Amino acid sequence: MRFRHRAAAGFATLLLPLAGLVGLASPAQAASNATAGFTKTSDWGTGFGGQWTVKNTGTSSISSWTVEWDFPSGTSVTSAWDADVTSSGTHWTAKNKSYNGTIAPGATVSFGFNGSGSGSPSNCKLNGDSCDGTTVPGDAAPSAPGTPTASGVTDTSVKLSWGAATDDKGVKNYDVLRDGAKVATVTTTSYSDTGLTAGTDYSYTVQARDTADQTGPVSAAVKVHTTGGGTTPPPTGDKVKLGYFTEWGIYGRNYNVKNLVTSGSAAKITHINYAFGNVTGGKCAIGDSYADYDKAFTADQSVSGVADTWDQPLRGNFNQLRELKAKYPNLKVLWSFGGWTWSGGFADAAKNPAAFAQSCYDLVEDPRWADVFDGIDIDWEYPNACGLTCDTSGAAAYKNVMAALRAKFGSTNLVTAATTADGSAGGKIEAADYAGAAQYVDWYNVMTYDFFGAWDAKGPTAPHSPLTSYSGIPKAGFTTADAIAKFKSIGVPAKKLLVGIGFYGRGWTGVTQDAPGGTATGPAAGTYEQGIEDYKVLKSSCPVTGTVAGTAYAHCGSNWWSYDTPATIAGKMAWAKDQGLGGAFFWEFSGDTSNGELVNAISSNL
C-alpha cells in the first residue's frame, strides 16, 4: 500500500531581498521609498501559488517598479498575472504592466504567479535596492558556498557537491581547492576529483567567483579519506548488506531515517535503497515530493539533532539521508524506482531506453540532492511478465533498459535491480534476459520472499520465504534455492546475486492445523493490511511454533503465520556464504525491532 500525503503550506509573508538593478528616472523611484514582500498562497506538493506585494512607503508617487529574485534549481514560474515575468537561468525579473506601474504614497500593488518545484525566493531586490527598503551598496563579493559533501569515494577519486553561493550580480563559477590549492574551476555545484592516492587524507573547500571576477570567502572544509592503501579496511566486510527505506514510512509508521541510528542498524549495513521513485510517461519521476525533500523534521526527529528551517535548500528524507551519510561516510544510498505499484510505467520506458536513462540520471543527479545518492536501483515487477499489471515489452527489453542505464550512469555509480525469484519451469526468470542484463548491473536483489500468502485465501498454509523445497510445498520452484540456482544456470555470477529477507510475516486465519499445508478461511488480520504483519509484532503476538525449509512458522489460536527470525536468518546467511553470493538485502527497516535484531542477525552472520 502506498500512502499519499501533502503538506498544507503556511501563509506567512516573507520580506525577502530581491535581485537586479533598474535605471531610475528620479529619486522618487528609489526602492528606499518602497518595500516588497512575498507570500506563498497555496502549495500542492509539486508546485505552489505565489504573490508579490509592492508598497510605496515614501511621500511621492512611484511611476514604475521592477522586482527581481533567485529561485533554486528546479523551481520556476509557470504562469503569471499583473506583471511581465522573465528569467535568465535561476534569476527571475517581474516588471509592472502599463496599468499598474504607478503607486501612490501608502498604496500597494500585487502580482501573482504559479510555480513548479518547492523552492523559495532569495536575493530579491526592488528597483535595485533591497525589498526591505534599505539601499544596496555597490557590487559585493559572493557569499561562501555551502560546505562540500563527499560521496563515491574510491581509491583514487571522490565526488564533491555543495550548496550554491549567492551574489548581487550572479555567481559565475567556483574554484575547488584541495588542501588549500586550486584543482579546478567549474560552473556547477559539483565536481569529481580524480588521480588521488589510495588510503590518503584530503581536505576540500570551495570558493565562488561573481561576474565581476570577485572571489568570496571559502566554504567550510570536508575531509576525505580515500579507500585502499592498506589503511582503510571495509568496516562491514566484503558482502553487501542492504536495506530498503520506504518514503511513506514517515507517516503512519512514524519510522524516520533517525531510527536507523537509534536502532544501531546504520552501523551494520553497507547500502540503503530509498523506495520508491515513480516511473511514468517513460521517465523517472518523484514519488512523494513532500516526504522526499519538503517535510520539515523537528530536532528530535532529525539525525543531526537540529530542526529543519523553512528556508533551508533541502529538507525531507533526502536531507535526513544526507545527514546519515555524514555520520556514516562509508554508507551508500541508491534511489529505487518502480516497485509493485509503479512498475506499469516501465513499458513506456522500454520503448526508448536512452531517454528513460537520461530522465533518471537528471533526477538522481539533481544538484539539490546529487550528493545523497550513489546510484540507481530498478524494481521492475515484472519485465515481459505479470505483476500488478502485465508487461509485453519482450524478452530483450530488460537488457536494453539496463544497458542504457549503465551507459548513462557510468562506472562510478551503482546500477542495481530487484528481480523475481520465480525459479519454476517456464517462470518469470525465463521471461526476460536477466543473463544478458547482468553485465550492466552491480548486483540483483533477488526477492526470495512472498512465494506463498493469503491471496490464496483457503490455503494451503505455507512459509512465504522457504529456503529450500519440502514435502507438500504448494508449487515447485518457489524457493530461494531454486531461484538462485536458476540465475546461476543462465550465467549470472553468484557474486552478483543477493538473497532477500522479509522483515514481516504472511498469515491466514481459520486454521486448525499446526504444520504447513492446512486449510484456512482467509487472511489473518494485520496492522496495515490483511494477511501481513511486521516481525516486531509477530515475535510476541504469535511466537514461533516450528520451522520448515529454513524458515519459521507460528500457529496461535486460529491464525497461522510464517516469518524469519534471527535464528532462521543466521541459517540463510550461512547458506548465502556457501553459495558464494554477493550478500543479502531486506524489505524493510520498519518491520524490525527498535534495537534492530534482524539487521544484526544479517550483519553478524554474513
Active site residues: 381
Q: Where are the beta strands (DSSP E) in 295-420?
A: 332-338, 375-379, 414-419
Question: Cα torsion at 343, 325, 208, 217 (round to 10°)?
Answer: 160
Q: Taking the CA of residue 7 as centre, how many other CA atoms within 13 Å lie in the half-sphere pointing to its CB?
A: 22
Q: Cα separation of 361 and 380, whole Å?
A: 17
CB 405 within 8 A of CB 357: yes
Q: How many CB atoms lie within 10 A of CB 89?
A: 9
Which H, E and C letters describe 115-160, residue by residue?
A: EECCCCCEEEEECCEECCCCCCCCCCCCCCCCCCEEECCCCCCEEE
Q: Are 191 and 125 in contact (CB under 8 A)?
A: no
Q: Which long-range contacts (CB under 8 A, 24 or more apart) does 227-230 make?
A: 227/153, 227/154, 227/155, 227/198, 227/199, 228/154, 228/155, 228/198, 228/199, 229/155, 229/197, 229/198, 229/199, 229/200, 230/199
> Residue written as cell 568496516?
235
Q: Are 240 and 443 contacting, i.e. CB atoms less than 8 angstroms apart?
A: yes
- N- to C-terminal Cα separation, the chain: 31
Tell me 251's DSSP state: S
